[in-house]
Structure 1
Amino acid sequence: MGPRLSLHNRAGDLEAASAIARHAVFSVTRPTVFTCNAIIADMYRSKWYEEAIALFHFFFNQFNIVPNIVSYNNVINTHCDEGRVDVALEVYRHVLANAPFSPSPVTYRHLTKGLIQAGRISEAVDLLREMLTKGHGADSLVYNNLISGFIELENLEKANELFDELKERCLVYDGVVNSTFMEWFFKKGRDKEAMESYRSLLERQFRMTPATCNVLLECLLKHARKTEAWALFDHMLDNHTPPNFQAVNSDTSKLGPCLILCFRKLRPCLKNCARSL
Structure 2
Amino acid sequence: MVIHVQLAKHLHKSLNLKPKPLTFFFSSSSSSQQQQQQQQITVTSAVSILTNQRSKSRWNTLHSLYPNGFNPIDFSQITLHLNNKPHLALRFYQWTKSKSLCHHNLSSYSTIIHILARGRLYSHAYNTIRTALNSDTPLKLFETLVNSYRDCGSAPFVFDLLIEACLHSRKIEPSVEIIRMLLSRRISPKVLTLNCLISRVCRKFGVDVGYEIYREFFRLDEEKYDFSKRGYGCKGFRVVTPNVHTFNTLMLCCYQNGLMEKVEEIWSEMCEMNCNPNGYSYSLLMSAFCEGGRMGDCEKMWKEMRKKEIEPDVVSYNTIIGGFCKIGDVGKAEEFFREMGLVGIDATVSTYENLVKGYCNVEDVDSAVLVYKDMLRKDFRPDALTLDMVVRLLCDRGRVEEAMEFFRSGVADFDLVPKEKSYEALIKGLCFEGRMEEALKLQAEMVGKRFEPNSDIYEAFINGYIRQGNEEMAEALRKEMVQTHAELTN
TM tier, smaller? 0.5 to 0.7
Quickly say closer, same or farther: Cα 1:112–1:217, change in 2 above 3 A.
same
**How many angstroms apart in 2 are the aligned matches of 1:41 and 1:194?**
36
Partner of 2:369: 192
Quickly say closer, same or farther: Cα 1:97–1:57, change in 2 above 3 A.
closer
Q: How does 1:145-164 map to 2 (within 5 A)?
A: 145-164=319-338
Partner of 1:69: 244
Gaps of 5+ in 1: 203-212, 231-276
| Code of the aligned partner of 2:371 | A
Instruction: Provide Cα deviations, 1:61-101, integer angstroms capped at 9, x if missing partner.
Output: 147321111011122233444555455334434444543x5
Quickly say closer, same or farther: Cα 1:81–1:195, change in 2 above 3 A.
closer
Quickly say closer, same or farther: Cα 1:217–1:38, change in 2 above 3 A.
same
- The correspondence for 2:311, drawn from 137, 140, 158, is 137
Partner of 2:345: 172
C-alpha contact 1:14 1:43 (8 A) present in aligned 2: yes
Instruction: Provide Cα deviations, 1:203-249, integer angstroms capped at 9, x if missing partner.
Output: xxxxxxxxxx8xx324389743467659xxxxxxxxxxxxxxxxxxx
Q: Does 1:32 align with 2:205?
A: no
Identity of aligned residues (%): 17
Q: Does 1:59 align with 2:220?
A: no
Q: How does 1:3-152 map to 2 (within 5 A)?
A: 3-46=161-204, 48-60=206-218, 61-62=220-221, 64-81=239-256, 84-96=259-271, 98-99=273-274, 102-152=276-326
| Code of the aligned partner of 1:102 | N
Partner of 1:273: none
**How many angstroms apart in 2 are the aligned matches of 1:131 and 1:222?**
31
**How many angstroms apart in 1 are the aligned matches of 2:191 and 2:281?**
18
Instruction: State the shift of 1:182 in Å.
Output: 3.7
| Code of the aligned partner of 2:215 | H
Give the superposed CA RMSD: 3.2
The TM-score with structure 1 as length reference comes to: 0.65
Instruction: State the shift of 1:48 in Å.
Output: 1.6
SS at match of 1:25: helix
The answer to which structure, 1 or 2, has the higher relative contact order (CA under 8 A, 6+ apart) is 1
SS at match of 1:12: coil
**How many angstroms apart in 2 are the aligned matches of 1:83 and 1:184?**
22
- Greater radius of gyration (CA): 2
C-alpha contact 2:167 2:175 (8 A) present in aligned 1: yes
Instruction: State the shift of 1:58 in Å.
Output: 1.0
Q: Does 1:219 align with 2:392?
A: no
Instruction: State the shift of 1:195 in Å.
Output: 3.3
Partner of 2:35: none
C-alpha contact 2:356 2:369 (8 A) present in aligned 1: no
The TM-score with structure 2 as length reference comes to: 0.39
**Greater mean alpha carbon deviation, residues 18-27 or residues 125-134:** 18-27
| Code of the aligned partner of 1:9 | L
C-alpha contact 1:140 1:174 (8 A) present in aligned 2: yes
SS at match of 1:103: coil
C-alpha contact 2:314 2:347 (8 A) present in aligned 1: yes
**Paired positions, count:** 216
Q: How does 1:231-242 map to 2 (within 5 A)?
A: none
C-alpha contact 1:32 1:65 (8 A) present in aligned 2: yes
Partner of 1:245: none
Instruction: State the shift of 1:52 in Å.
Output: 0.9
